[in-house]
Amino acid sequence: MKSKITITEALQEVKTIDARIQKKKEFVFNFLFRQNTQRDPHEKDGGSAVLIAQERQAINDLLERKISIRTAINIANAENSITIGKQTRTISEWLVWKRDVAPTMKVILNETAARLQVLRQDVTRKGLNVTQSAPSEVTTDIIVNVNENELSKQIEALEEAISTLDGQFSLKNATIKIEV
């Protein structure tokens, strides 16, 4: 029987499944073997071998449920979109962007800003000038080839996009229903 639940509920169920699997695994490992002279502690319930087989089947069933949940979430993420600023992407695309693209962008932008700051300090100590304009008649001027104001705006926009995206993920997870 299929039921409709929110992605938030589904993600919580995945955590519960993982905890249940861990408990079942511990049970199986605790009763994998015993010395022949020891009495089977589960003989009244059909024996340890039977219970282990049942628990292993239960683990497989839980793993199948996890596959169903994750698949339904992936489908929902591919079918629903989020708009951040002027950019609209599917949730799946935003997840990839947040995991793979945003960190790289952040490093590049922040490292660019940091290097420019170090350059300015170094140049100032040496009594030289930093400029963003075309070469002047002073041959010792250092020309910066990046608009620092624009760089600052890009860093701020990236941070804002990441923050907004987290809120949108939470909202979508709480409102999008999946069938599992």
Tens-digit pLDDT profile for the chain (180 aa)? Answer: 789 999 999 999 999 999 999 999 999 999 999 999 999 999 999 999 999 999 999 999 999 999 999 999 999 999 999 999 999 999 999 999 999 999 999 999 999 999 999 998 998 888 888 777 666 666 667 888 999 999 999 999 999 999 999 999 999 999 999 999
What pLDDT sits at residue 136? 60
Cβ proximity of 76 and 122 under 8 Å: no
CB-based burial label for 37 (10 Å; 0-12, 13-18, 19+):
exposed
Query: Angle 52-54-55 (CA atoms, 0-180°, nearest 5)?
Result: 65
| Nearest to 94, CA basis, from 77, 72, 75 | 77
Treating both helix axes as pointing N-terminal to C-terminal, what angle do 7-30 and 48-79 enclose, rounded to 10 degrees?
160
User: Which token pair is 10?
Assistant: 């589904």
pTM of the model: 0.81
With the CA atoms of 146, 148, 151 and 155 taken in that order, what torsion angle do they form, in degrees rounded to the nearest 10? Answer: 150
pLDDT at position 37: 92
What confidence score (pLDDT) does residue 177 get? 97
- What is the rounded distance in angstroms from the CA atom of residue 65 to the CA atom of residue 173? 19
The confidence score (pLDDT) of residue 128 equals 83
Contact 161, 85 (CB under 8 A): yes
